A and B are shown apart, each in its own frame.
Chain A
Amino acid sequence: MKSMMMKSGLLAAAAVLALTAGVSADPVDEQLVIDGQEMITRAKAPEGHPFDEVLSGWLYREAETRKLEEDSFDNPGMLSVEEGEEIWNTVEGTAGKSCASCHDDAADTMAGIAANYPKWDPDAKRPINIELQINKCREENMGAEPYAFDKSGQKELTAYIKHQSLGDPVSVDLSQGEMQQWWERGKDVYYTRTGQLNLSCASCHEQNNGNYIRADHLSQGQVNGFPTYRLKTGLTSLHNRFRGCVRDTRAEIPKAFSDDLMALETYVTWRGTGLSVETPSVRQ
């Protein structure tokens, strides 16, 4: 990097600009209640977090978008959750089992489970998320093929399982296995600038949350609502969103569930510690 000598005049001008830069539009001060259940959309940040408070992306959205999430009948993502419920009860694979064959009623057996994912997978020696947990179950217990990324109902079944934790605060256990090392790696990924545009996750979601990039009100980039219903793209998985963001920096798109993206999922999930699971959230 070639750096140049700066004149004091330029420094002064830059300082003035810095002061006037970023006319931020604050996130709203409202309470999200879904079907009568209060969601935690503001939480005290865990120790070592760059922010004092973590904020749900719901607070950054327009009033109409926020409203869609407040009622299950209005939330378009709930149709996918219902599809997920059908998959839960559908027998597949050589063992002749459905998810329900072993796990019965998800409302009981899956309650609160997804709020603690990703977890350490001692078999694979890496973090495991809901999508990969489903695939593991399909291969090991159902005798079924693992889902390809974003295919065959993976998003819908994931949304259904995560929805059983609606309202529960996100909490990942970094003391399991090597989760702490994966968290560190995820932090590196988060702060690595990529692509021709030379931007990291932090460029937008840490340095500029509250600002607008064109029509997008930049949020903290929390992941507590995934899979999320995006008005632009419908039900959208977390790794799809990661890939979209990296693509927009004009970088090579990382593979879904690759080590880098599993590390990133671990790290950004931790960045939302204490926020309610909102799956399926409604976003722009």
Chain B
Amino acid sequence: MRRWTTLAVAASVSMLATSAFAADVPPKEVAFGDDGVTASLTGTPGDPKHGAEVFKSRKLGNCLACHANEEMSGELFHGTVGPALDGVADRYDEGYLRAIVVNAKAIFTEETVMPGFYSLDLGADVAEEFQGKTILSAQDVEDVVAYLETLKE
């Protein structure tokens, strides 16, 4: 019992020493399998409420720029570049939804215009302030996936 406590303390100290998000799966280590990305990127369950914010915020996911979403009919200007997401949770399991958000090009084809939201496989000449950075944090991705999971018809 005492040993476990010591280990836990040691683990949390080492986490503090490196990064607050040391538990996140790094973008390059996300495992894509037959069922998409089945493992959580953070180990912390997604918050659908915050996920909805990420979905509509122009500064975060801005998913509405390309996807219509009946559930957000109160928001103006839904895009039509991608498919409407009504009932998307009926069409895809959680692992696929996570995989699409993480890096749609790994799931569909290279031709998709959908950015990889947790990928470092970026375009040319990335602006300095965005170099080595993903569009969303691992937890934002988990939150968006949790929100998408609520879109059932």
Which residues of A are at the interface with B, using a C-beta cutoff of 8 A?
Answer: 1-7, 10, 13-14, 16-18, 20-25, 192-200, 203-204, 207-208, 211-215, 218, 247, 249-254
Report A81 CB to chain B, min CB distance, Å: 32
List the B residue with the shortest CB-CB distance to A254: B125
**What are 10 inter-chain pairs, A to B, with CB distance below 8 A?**
A2-B106, A17-B91, A192-B124, A193-B124, A195-B124, A197-B135, A203-B113, A208-B81, A211-B81, A214-B64
Residues on B close to A: CB < 8 A?
Answer: 32-36, 58, 62, 64-66, 76-84, 91-92, 96, 99, 103, 105-108, 110-111, 113, 115-116, 121-128, 130, 133, 135
A25 to chain B: closest residue by CB: B80
Nearest Cβ on chain B to A90's Cβ, whole angstroms: 39
- Chain A: which residue is nearest B111 at the CB level? A207
Set of chain B residues within 8 Å of A247, measured between Cβ atoms = 127
Set A16, A207, A254: member contacting B113, Cβ < 8 A: A207
Check A196/B80 contact, CB under 8 A, given A4-B33, A4-B106, A6-B107. no
Q: How far is the CA of A284 from the CA of B130 in the complex (A)?
A: 28
Decide: B127 and A213 in contact? CB cutoff 8 A: no
Q: Give 9 nearest A-B pairs by CB, closest first.
A: A198-B123, A193-B123, A4-B32, A196-B130, A215-B77, A203-B113, A194-B123, A21-B83, A17-B83
Alpha-carbon gap, A278 to B116, bound state (A): 38
- CB contact between A5 and one of B34, B64, B122 (< 8 Å): that residue: B34
For the complex, what is the distance from the CA of A5 to the CA of B79, rounded to whole Å?
29
Is the beta-carbon distance between A10 and B96 smaller than 8 angstroms?
yes
Bound Cα distance from A3 to B106, whole angstroms: 5
Q: Is the CB of B125 within 8 A of A213?
A: no
Judge whether B82 and A21 touch: CB under 8 Å.
yes
B153 CB to nearest chain A CB (Å): 13
- A213 in contact with B123 (CB, 8 Å): no
List residues of chain A with CB within 8 A of the CB of B130: 195-196, 250
Complex Cα distance, B80 from A211, in Å, reads 5
Q: Among the interface residues B35, B62, B110, B126, which one has the most CB atoms of the partner chain A within 10 A?
A: B126
